[in-house]
Amino acid sequence: MADKPAAEKTEEPTAKRLNKTREKGQVAQSQEVGSAVAIVVLVLILAATSKDLVVWLSLQVEAGMSGERGVFLNTDTFLEFINRQTSNMLWAVLPLMVPLFMAGILGSIMVGGATVAPKALMPKWSEVNPITGFGRLVNMKSFVKLGISIIKLIVITLVVITYLKSRDEELIAIRWAWSSELLSAIGQLVFGLLVRVTVVLLVIAALDVGFQKWKYMDDLKMTKQEVKEEHKETEGSPEVRARARRVRIEMARSRSLQEVPKANVLLVNPTHVAVALRYDSTTMDAPTVVAKGADHMAAKIREIARAHGVPILRRPPLARAIYKAVEPGQPVPESLYAAVAEVLALIYRLRRRGM
């Protein structure tokens, strides 16, 4: 016979399992979102500063091509000129790097949320073991990332080619432009290209977010047995719950036994059921059950009642009715008022007679 297949993971992950994985720093992540958000911020910055940027670049080019033409005649001066212009360019671009960096981080945590997981920072043997390390390189997740990168490259390449072909006349005209006109024309072409690439990246990011969330939840799915075991750990086994319930009942009974000496009367049936009643017209609206019990508990209540001089009356039907309908601390129902009033009146008469 064929081996029995392993239990299938068909159950959605529980809140406890999701919390555990989050504590380990394992959340749904999408690198595409970070890239897309960063380039969106770049496009917005360029849209806001494009005019000033073109003017600045024009000044740099004019300074290099007019006032400093002599730098091209000597290798040392030429290299110095290149270094200076490169440094100026880097200092001009540096302020853009901060918002782009922050945008990339923000985009990365938009999918799975920000997590602080010390466990994820602890070194693991599996991460330095060359065998398991190679396994991580060739797992399905790596192939998916590679596939997304290839698709992204192909789509962006097609977008670039299509866009540049649609701007043939502008590209030809650029050859005859100079200085600020040249830079402005190039800037417009680059900006238009960036906008189209941004749209592509946003679409890819949206698809990747859906896939990563689905994959994350699918990887965390549990078998029915795992859910059952976790439920036992969380709620306790049926035996543990039953034991805890017995303890709670015993504690409640212990508290109710302490109230028996305060009762006005104890109704019995005659040995199986015992119900202790108390009524104080100044503090109570109706007679109240202070304790009740059956079998050995009833015997314990009778014993305490005798020890404290609480009257004991045999009223089987009334004792059974109150035992079934009322819990300790609750008043008797209106339907039993007459019967209980008759019992209390009898007790008061007996006390007045000194019995």
Q: The domain spanning residue 293 has which CATH number? A: 3.40.1690.10
Residues of the chain whose pLDDT is less than 70? 1-7, 50, 52-79, 81-82, 85, 89, 92-93, 108, 112-141, 171, 173-183, 233-240, 354-355
Question: Does one domain contain both 260 and 180?
Answer: no
Question: Does one domain contain both 176 and 74?
Answer: yes
Q: Per the domain annotation, does 32 fall within a domain?
A: yes
Burial of 184 per CB tally in 10 Å (0-12, 13-18, 19+): middle
Question: Does one domain contain both 319 and 170?
Answer: no
- pLDDT at residue number 134: 46
> Which of 221, 248, 271 represents a domain boundary (last residue)?
221
Question: Does one domain contain both 181 and 38?
Answer: yes
pTM, full prediction: 0.49
- pLDDT at residue number 351: 81
Question: Does one domain contain both 317 and 169?
Answer: no
- pLDDT at residue number 125: 43
Encode pLDDT of 262-300 as tens digits.
999 999 987 789 999 999 888 888 999 999 988 888 999
Residue 339 structural domain: 240-352
* Beta-strand pair 265-268/288-294: unpaired
Encode pLDDT of 18-72 as tens digits.
888 877 777 777 778 888 888 888 888 877 776 766 666 666 666 555 555 555 5
Question: Does one domain contain both 188 and 216?
Answer: yes
- pLDDT at residue number 127: 47
Question: Does one domain contain both 153 and 61?
Answer: yes
d(CA 268, CA 273): 5
- pLDDT at residue number 301: 92
> Which of 154, 187, 221 represents a domain boundary (last residue)?
221
Burial letters for 282-296: b for 16+ Cβ neighbours within 10 Å, e otherwise? eeeeebbbbbbbbee
The identity of residue 307, as a single letter, is A
